[in-house]
Amino acid sequence: MKIIRVMTVDDHEIVRQGINSFINTQENIRIVGEADSSKSAISVAKTIKPDVILMDLQLEHHHSGIEATEAIKQQIPNCEIIILTSYYQDDYIFPALASGALSYLLKDVSPVDLVDAIVKAANKQTVLSPIVANRILKEHYKPAIDPFISLTEREQAILKLIAQGLNNTEISEQLFISIKTVRSHVSNILSKLQLRDRTQAAVMAWQQGIMS
Amino acid sequence: MKIIRVMTVDDHEIVRQGINSFINTQENIRIVGEADSSKSAISVAKTIKPDVILMDLQLEHHHSGIEATEAIKQQIPNCEIIILTSYYQDDYIFPALASGALSYLLKDVSPVDLVDAIVKAANKQTVLSPIVANRILKEHYKPAIDPFISLTEREQAILKLIAQGLNNTEISEQLFISIKTVRSHVSNILSKLQLRDRTQAAVMAWQQGIMS
DNA sequence: CATTTCATCGGTCTAGAGACCTAGATAAGA
DNA sequence: TCTTATCTAGGTCTCTAGACCGATGAAATG
């Protein structure tokens, strides 16, 4: 079994110590590097090229862990990064994952789960803390509610077609109704949602997650 | 500790047996119901109101597990549903989660992980098999590339404004250029991307994940 | 120096979009 | 039964969008 080379990034030494001391009891995982800042994380990573990095987001009093993640993933694509932090706000989760992190764990994970996540990371498999998974699902499956429900079924159907880029003629053909009827519905939709034109309607539909 | 009441839905009795036999060795989990079809799943669930349902997608030779999930979540919102299936194609994952399932596990999960998922489900926490989590992340963080790069910087900037719902006048004010210039850029964008109108451009931008 | 690309701006013309008003058919509900 | 909501459809009018034409200056590139 190949040994997984891990690096920890956290600005509190005590935290790194805690993680390291536990990880090192594992036979197949070894801590090969540490860093306490964004800058040092990037340079150390470039030197030792670890398989997996445990990265805190909060470094030096601002969340520069994201910048570090982005830089490292760009320069060492094979190195997988696990975010290990205490924050589970959307503001942290989504930028972190967008910056290239593979997994996102909260610091209340059990040591067993942490080891599990490291092993999975070495195999390019994502692990998310339950609360994080929840947030992501909610983000991608926002309930089709809010402004949307004020629309009738027909209007909702037409809005979806607008949000696919169809013009009035195509919508009328798709639904087997006259163009004039489509125009009436579109006008009502825009009026109800307080939007100016079909482009804004399409944008709203995508922003609200109504479209896939 | 409260006992978690679980129901299994699978059209193969042998599978249900396997799950049940293991689950029942757990002290805090009890199997309180079974079903082998979409219809029976809904009616049984309404009767016994389990805390958690383990739901296979493939029932009666088509994936009606999704319909069952949708119906059950609508009628018994407090009941959490874990998809437990062998399929990990996007066609299965996304409709299943959209239908209201809390978690999505592949049938290769270890018994330990399954129990863990059930306990977490009882606490409304999502658990995803690593491969499923990967798919979802990829889906939401599609690289913003392809057609976009063929556009000049200015055109990209204008496309983003279009995709925010701005009209030509607003774009011209935002960028301190004349409306005629905006029109030229818009025409070029539509021509390059082979689109008909600004609405289709906005749709493309959102579909490609260019917009946040 | 010549060429090309890009950003800027103008004019004209047509088709579509959207506002506003009216109105019939149907179905659900008080 | 009366009322209301919804879907359907038409008419008119105005304005925006977009196509197509040309043109200039700047900057990069050969």
Residue at token pair 């479209």: A211
- The residue with greater pLDDT, B145 or B112, is B112
Decide: CB of B177 under 7 A of nucleic strand D.
no
The CA distance from B2 to B24, in Å, is: 15
First-residue to last-residue Cα distance in chain B:
43
**CA of B176 vs C1' of D24, distance in Å?**
19
Q: Please indicate whether, in this complex, the C-beta atoms of A126 and B137 are within 8 angstroms of each other.
A: yes
Average pLDDT over residues B25-32: 91
User: Measured between beta carbons, which residues in chain A are less than 8 angstroms from residue B167?
Assistant: 196-197, 199
Residues whose CB is less than 8 angstroms from the CB of residue A142 and which lie 6 or more positions away in sequence, other chains included? A208, A209
Mutation target to probe the A interface, by most A beta carbons within 10 A, among B137, B160, B164, B197 is B137
* Secondary structure of residue B159 in the 3-state scheme: helix
| Size of the A and B interface in Cβ pairs below 8 Å | 86
Taking residue B146's Cβ as centre, other Cβ atoms within 10 Å add up to: 12
Residue at token pair 């090969």: A32
Residue at token pair 């990880």: A23
Query: Which segment of A2-11, B2-11, B85-94, B168-177 scores lowest on mean pLDDT?
Result: B85-94
The CA distance from B52 to B127, in Å, is: 13
* Secondary structure of residue A135 in the 3-state scheme: helix
Q: Taking CA atoms, what residue in B is nearest to A119?
A: B130
CB B164, CB A203: distance < 8 Å: yes
CB B154, CB B191: distance < 8 Å: no
Residue at token pair 């994936």: B63
pTM for this structure?
A: 0.54
Q: Please indicate whether, in this complex, the C-beta atoms of A203 and B202 are within 8 angstroms of each other.
A: yes
Residues whose CB is less than 8 angstroms from the CB of residue A203 and which lie 6 or more positions away in sequence, other chains included? B163, B164, B165, B202, B206
Taking residue B212's Cβ as centre, other Cβ atoms within 10 Å add up to: 8
pLDDT, tens only, B29-82: 999 999 999 989 999 999 999 999 999 988 876 668 888 998 999 889 899 999
B198 touches chain A (CB under 8 A): yes
Q: Please indicate whether, in this complex, the C-beta atoms of B127 and A126 are within 8 angstroms of each other.
A: no
B113 touches chain A (CB under 8 A): no
β-bridge mates for residue A4, sequence order? A29
Q: Which nucleotide is nearest to A169 (CA to C1')?
A: C16
Query: Please, which pLDDT band fits residue A140 given cuts at 50, 70 and 90?
Result: low
CB B13, CB B24: distance < 8 Å: no
User: Measured between beta carbons, which residues in chain A are less than 8 angstroms from residue B136?
Assistant: 136-137, 140
pLDDT, tens only, A28-83: 999 999 999 999 999 999 999 999 999 998 887 666 888 899 899 989 999 999 99
User: Residue A16: which H helix or E strand, with range?
Assistant: helix A13-23
Q: Does residue B174 come out as left (phi exceeding 0), alpha (psi in the -120 to 50 range) or beta?
A: alpha
The CA distance from B53 to B72, in Å, is: 10
Q: Does residue A100 come out as left (phi exceeding 0), alpha (psi in the -120 to 50 range) or beta?
A: left
pLDDT, tens only, A169-208: 999 998 999 999 999 999 999 988 889 999 999 999 988 8
